[in-house]
């Protein structure tokens, strides 16, 4: 046992004893837990402060030059002496010959601790090799009882992407897709049972609009021949007509004319009425809907079978063209949904049940035939004001977005009995989700409301185009891929060795988009910048891929076997550059666990870039190919551990690590 060997270096330390004293520590997964525990033991002996107080304030550092851990003495809350005086006293008493740490470095009341290279190197590299793709994952974090492996996993629903069918898939959906998939991967790596859910906006006036278009301009023969293309054409056509009509009405309004007759007869109004017939379960209308669906199924069955999921199947065909996302886009992005739910799946029955409940509990009230929730009356003070008043059901009886969400949420709880649920939705919908969670609470389901969380994000600027020229997501990805393909071709020799240049360029393009998206905090807006994100300079997707591919290339050239690497003499890795790489790698389990608190992709990304910088600055100092054989083996073992940790991090982010490019 690798970690046992590490424990044996410390007199009196056993893994069992450590587990008793530090129940949250899991050194077999995260060796740094052993370091923290040992440090707490030593500091406790010196200071007399209890280990349970020290352990939680042993913090990680921003960069390697600041040490591996730092303790702010004031955090220990000792009365009497000044913190910097205490720090000095304790530093003096810190044993010279500690097996794991050098003597602390002081800066005011901060004590910085640097690990000794050799013991860390000899535990981390073998651990990374043994754990492989599991290195860093923590199966304890997601347990119902973190001390009991048989207690079962907690369950989380991550709802993300959720585009609107028959409307464009816009940048907001792209961000939701990227961030949501990352959050799902993160929880999975931390031992949760994850349900990935796509809640399609698949019900509403836009369907009425489509059907209307078919009534006006549809062609039976064309529909049979190629339903998807034909329906798409119809959709585009009616949207154009509707925009023109709206403009005309606006003109007349400006001229002071009465437009009520025009409005009552408008395409928009007709679509609304058509949709009303759908919600009323008008048979003829639903049969039409069914027909579009069946035709699409027949046409695409083989191809999309894996996405089939009840009504969902049809919707995905719309998805294919109408919201400008190809179902395969999800697999290009390494995403697989467990469930495609959608607004159309919320039954009228469940909605009227909830409506009754809300009336009974005096949450909603009627106003001229519409049903409202007035938070300003329900909640005192600021909170009520912030949430305002909202409509649940329109005067014509159609239930709205919010009502569907209320029912859907309760339905999901019934079906999955989740411990937590995350909605990954743009910050434009902050109010909507606050209202949703508040209604759930007002209904008396406080416990369920507490389990729900909105993860929001800012806008992508420079991507929304003037009307009529919606950018297709697949086109954007393709543009980036083409751009990367051109760049790859510039190095003819390398290019010739890439097995599948198209796929590689595609992956690079996707990496560019994703890394740019994940570079800042979620809430920040950012500007879509093709030049910047496809560059190899700076912290970009292509740079990250290059860093990985370079490690792969060293491995190919070194041409050593697994046994060679397993038997490498790791005590040869004495250089600071080597130890620094190991120190970076050792942080990965901490990073992965800490990211659960931030839920920010940038927490992982920043770590990966720091790691690649430490690696790239080592190349001149730690030659592999050309070095003496034993040295070559040990250095290769080091770089291979780095490669595998980098790849693990990239996969959490949803990137596909490339071996050649």
**Residues labelled as active-site residues:** 167, 170, 173
Cβ pair 154, 192 in contact under 8 A? yes
Cβ pair 142, 191 in contact under 8 A? yes
CB of 119 to ligand ARG, least distance (A): 49
Q: Which is nearer to ligand ARG, 141 or 162 (CB)?
A: 162
Cβ contacts of residue 195 below 8 Å, gap of 6+?
155, 156, 157, 158, 338, 339, 416, 418
636 secondary structure, DSSP code: H
Instruction: By CB under 6 A, tell whether 199 contacts ligand ARG.
Output: yes
Interface residues for ligand ARG in 150-169 (CB under 6 A)?
A: 159, 162, 164
Instruction: By CB under 6 A, tell whether 337 contacts ligand ARG.
Output: no
CA–CA distances in Å: residue 82 to residues 47, 69, 87, 109: 14, 21, 9, 9
Bridge partners of 370, per DSSP, are: 367
Q: Which is nearer to ligand ARG, 205 or 230 (CB)?
A: 205
Q: Which is nearer to ligand ARG, 60 or 401 (CB)?
A: 401
Interface residues for ligand ARG in 60-99 (CB under 6 A)?
A: none
Applying CB under 6 A, among 135, 235, 337, 423 the residue interacting with ligand ARG is 423
Q: Which is nearer to ligand ARG, 187 or 423 (CB)?
A: 423
Interface residues for ligand ARG in 622-641 (CB under 6 A)?
A: none
Bridge partners of 374, per DSSP, are: 389
Interface residues for ligand ARG in 384-413 (CB under 6 A)?
A: 405
CB of 607 to ligand ARG, least distance (A): 30
DSSP string across 429-459: GHHHHHHHHHHHHHTT-HHHHHTEEEE---P
DSSP-derived 3-state class of residue 573: coil
CB of 454 to ligand ARG, least distance (A): 9
Residue in the shown chain whose Cβ atom is closest to ligand ARG: 201
Q: Which is nearer to ligand ARG, 41 or 159 (CB)?
A: 159
- The whole-angstrom separation of Cα 370 and Cα 105 is 69
Q: Which is nearer to ligand ARG, 432 or 577 (CB)?
A: 432
What's the token pair of residue 512? 């560019």
What's the token pair of residue 513? 């988009």
Instruction: By CB under 6 A, tell whether 138 contacts ligand ARG.
Output: no
The C-alpha torsion from 483 through 486 and 490 to 492, rounded to 10°, is 130
Cβ pair 428, 172 in contact under 8 A? yes
- Give the number of residues in contact with ligand ARG, rule: CB under 6 A: 8
CA–CA distances in Å: residue 70 to residues 22, 472, 531: 19, 48, 40
Instruction: By CB under 6 A, tell whether 201 contacts ligand ARG.
Output: yes
CB of 342 to ligand ARG, least distance (A): 9
- The whole-angstrom separation of Cα 185 and Cα 422 is 13
What's the token pair of residue 244? 């023109």
Q: Which is nearer to ligand ARG, 344 or 534 (CB)?
A: 344
Q: Residue holding tokens 């894996």? A: 306
Quick one: how far is CA 638 from the chain centroid?
29
CB of 423 to ligand ARG, least distance (A): 5
CB of 373 to ligand ARG, least distance (A): 16
Would you mind telling me the total number of residues written for the chain in this entry?
661
Question: ∠ CA(420), CA(425), CA(429), 5° rounding?
Answer: 115
Cβ pair 278, 348 in contact under 8 A? no
Q: Which is nearer to ligand ARG, 415 or 489 (CB)?
A: 415
Q: Which is nearer to ligand ARG, 121 or 181 (CB)?
A: 181
Interface residues for ligand ARG in 567-596 (CB under 6 A)?
A: none
Residue 178 half-sphere exposure toward CB, CA atoms < 13 A: 26
- The whole-angstrom separation of Cα 478 and Cα 23 is 50
Cβ contacts of residue 98 below 8 Å, gap of 6+?
42, 116
Q: Which x/- pattern over 505-524 shows residues binding ligand ARG (rule: CB under 6 A)?
A: --------------------
Interface residues for ligand ARG in 466-505 (CB under 6 A)?
A: none
Instruction: State residue 340 phi and psi, 5-degree precision.
Output: -100, 100
Q: Could you list the residues that contact ligand ARG (CB under 6 A)?
A: 159, 162, 164, 199, 201, 405, 423, 425
């Amino acid at each position: 046992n690798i970690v046992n060997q590490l424990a044996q270096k410390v007199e009196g330390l056993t893994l069992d004893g450590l587990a008793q004293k530090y129940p949250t520590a899991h050194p077999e997964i995260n060796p740094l837990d052993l370091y923290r525990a040992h440090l707490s033991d030593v500091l406790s002996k010196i200071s007399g402060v209890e280990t349970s107080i020290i352990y939680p304030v042993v913090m990680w550092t921003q960069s390697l030059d600041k040490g591996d851990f730092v303790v702010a003495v004031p955090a220990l809350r000792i009365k009497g002496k000044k913190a910097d005086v205490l720090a000095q006293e304790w530093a003096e008493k810190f044993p010279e010959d500690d097996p794991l740490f050098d003597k602390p470095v002081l800066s005011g009341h901060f004590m910085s601790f640097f690990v000794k290279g050799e013991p860390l190197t000899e535990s981390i590299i073998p651990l990374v090799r043994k754990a492989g793709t599991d290195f860093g994952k923590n199966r304890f974090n997601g347990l119902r009882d973190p001390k009991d492996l048989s207690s079962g996993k907690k369950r989380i629903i991550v709802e993300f992407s959720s585009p609107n069918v028959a409307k464009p898939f816009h940048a907001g959906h792209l961000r939701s897709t990227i961030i949501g998939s990352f959050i799902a991967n993160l929880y999975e790596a931390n031992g949760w049972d994850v349900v990935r859910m796509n809640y399609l906006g698949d019900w509403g006036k836009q369907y009425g609009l489509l059907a209307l278009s078919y009534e006006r301009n549809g062609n039976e023969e064309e529909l049979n021949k190629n339903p998807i293309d034909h329906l798409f054409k119809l959709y585009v056509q009616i949207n154009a007509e509707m925009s023109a009509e709206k403009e005309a009405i606006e003109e007349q309004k400006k001229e002071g004319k009465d437009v009520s007759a025009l409005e009552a007869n408008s395409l928009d109004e007709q679509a609304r009425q058509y949709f009303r017939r759908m919600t009323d379960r008008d048979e003829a209308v639903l049969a039409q809907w069914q027909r579009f669906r069946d035709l699409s199924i027949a046409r695409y069955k083989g191809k999309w079978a894996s996405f089939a999921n009840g009504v969902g199947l049809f919707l995905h065909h719309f998805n294919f063209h109408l919201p400008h996302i190809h179902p395969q886009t999800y697999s290009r992005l390494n995403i697989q949904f467990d469930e495609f739910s959608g607004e159309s799946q919320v039954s009228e029955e469940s909605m009227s049940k909830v409506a009754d409940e809300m009336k009974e509990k005096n949450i909603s009230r009627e106003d001229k035939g519409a049903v409202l929730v007035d938070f300003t009356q329900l909640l005192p003070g600021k909170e009520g004001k912030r949430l305002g008043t909202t409509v649940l059901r329109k005067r014509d009886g159609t239930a709205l977005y919010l009502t569907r969400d209320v029912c859907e949420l309760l339905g999901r709880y019934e079906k999955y009995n989740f411990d937590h649920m995350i909605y990954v939705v743009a910050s434009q919908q902050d109010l909507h989700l606050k209202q949703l969670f508040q209604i759930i609470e007002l209904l008396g389901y406080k416990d369920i409301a507490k389990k729900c969380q909105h993860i929001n994000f800012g806008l992508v600027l420079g991507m929304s185009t003037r009307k009529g020229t919606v950018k297709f997501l697949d086109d954007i990805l393709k543009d980036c891929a083409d751009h990367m393909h051109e760049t790859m071709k510039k190095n003819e020799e390398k290019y010739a060795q890439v097995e599948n240049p198209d796929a590689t360029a595609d992956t690079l393009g996707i990496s560019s988009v994703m890394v740019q998206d994940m570079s800042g905090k979620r809430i920040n807006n950012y500007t879509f910048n093709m030049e910047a994100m496809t560059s190899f300079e700076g912290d970009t997707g292509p740079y990250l891929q290059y860093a990985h591919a370079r490690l792969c290339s060293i491995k190919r050239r070194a041409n050593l076997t697994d046994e060679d690497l397993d038997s490498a003499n790791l005590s040869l890795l004495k250089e600071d550059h080597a130890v620094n790489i190991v120190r970076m790698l050792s942080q990965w389990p901490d990073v992965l666990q800490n990211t659960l608190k931030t839920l920010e992709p940038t927490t992982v990304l920043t770590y990966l870039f720091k790691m690649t910088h430490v690696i790239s600055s080592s190349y001149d100092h730690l030659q592999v190919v050309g070095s003496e054989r034993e040295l070559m083996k040990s250095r290769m073992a080091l770089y291979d551990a780095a490669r595998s940790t980098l790849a693990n991090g990239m996969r959490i982010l949803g990137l596909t690590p490339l071996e050649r490019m």
